Amino acid sequence: MNAPDKRPALAPNRFTAYGTELTSRMLLGTAQYPSPQIMAEAVAVSKTGIVTVSLRREQARGRTGERFLELIRALNVHVLPNTAGCRTAKEAVTTAQMARELLDTDWIKLEVIANDDTLQPDLFGLVEAAAILTRDGFKVFPYTTEDLGAADRLLAAGCEILMPWGAPIGSGRGLANPYGLKTMRAYFPGTPLVIDAGVGAPSHAAAAMEMGYDAVLLNTAVAKAGDPVRMAAAFAAAIDAGRTAYEAGLMEPRDMAQPSTPVAGTPFFDLPPRTG
């Protein structure tokens, strides 16, 4: 009879955002899919607990946007509206207020963009808008960089979660500054951190999770894949694997080789002299 396994069980593959426990560490965007049906199937396969929606884009669609929002509500997951496309704190605050009224949620993914080419966050406007929104009762998910000073100010403004970019939005480059991201993880050990933007392959998502990040937000890499549904499943598996590896304890890299089989006690045999 085998002895019972006394090893401690790994923590459930979930994390908490603003007091809400989520059963998946994958957040999924809803833009750019070939069809609403494929988007819905990708969401279902990913088992995500949060989908993001651009209020400005859906407003521009008019009645089509209204039908799209009905589909989003039918997914039975948390909806995280975002302020994509906003370039000032005032514009972002106004968009967030409209999103709260339309979608009946105080969650908001806050984006204030500084540069049209890189879509890099405007850290000054971001902190300003975050302070206004948290005072107004919003639960802010700020799209930021790995800048530690900005992170400190966002937390002081009332944010309870940080979402640093991996690389520019839609670039698929992965983790452009792994050193900075590792430093951020170490500097804020108790703060939920979500990699947002730039992830292009499941291996990028797994690498972020192996660093100890709490979740990954994806959109383009899934929506623009040849098969978005299968790609959503691939990312979900990679995120689970990366988190499990982090919790299990990854080995530290070494500069020199170390034999996996110890040489101490290895028998050595005298060979007969060669002749001829």
Rounded to an integer, what distance in angstroms lies between the CA atom of residue 55 and that of residue 65?
9
| Whole-number Cα distances in Å, 152 to 81, 129, 187 | 24, 15, 10
Per the residue annotation, which of 47, 90, 109, 224 is the catalytic one?
A: 109
Q: Is the CB of residue 82 less than 8 Å from the CB of residue 59?
A: no
Is 139 an annotated catalytic residue?
no
Could you tell me the CA-to-CA distances from 138 to 153, 157, 168 in Å, in that order?
17, 12, 26
Indicate left, alpha or beta for 104 from its phi (over 0: left) and psi (-120 to 50: alpha).
left
Q: 83: how many CB neighbours lie within 10 A of its CB?
A: 27
Assign 51 to helix, strand or coil.
Answer: strand
Matching residue, tokens 């694997």: 241
State how far the alpha carbon of 176 is from the alpha carbons of 122, 138, 211, 276, in Å.
Answer: 18, 30, 14, 61
- Containing 221, the helix (H) or strand (E) segment is helix 220-223
Question: In sequence order, what are the beta bridge partners of 164?
Answer: 144
Alpha-carbon span 58 to 61, nearest angstrom: 5
Residue positions annotated with a catalytic role:
109
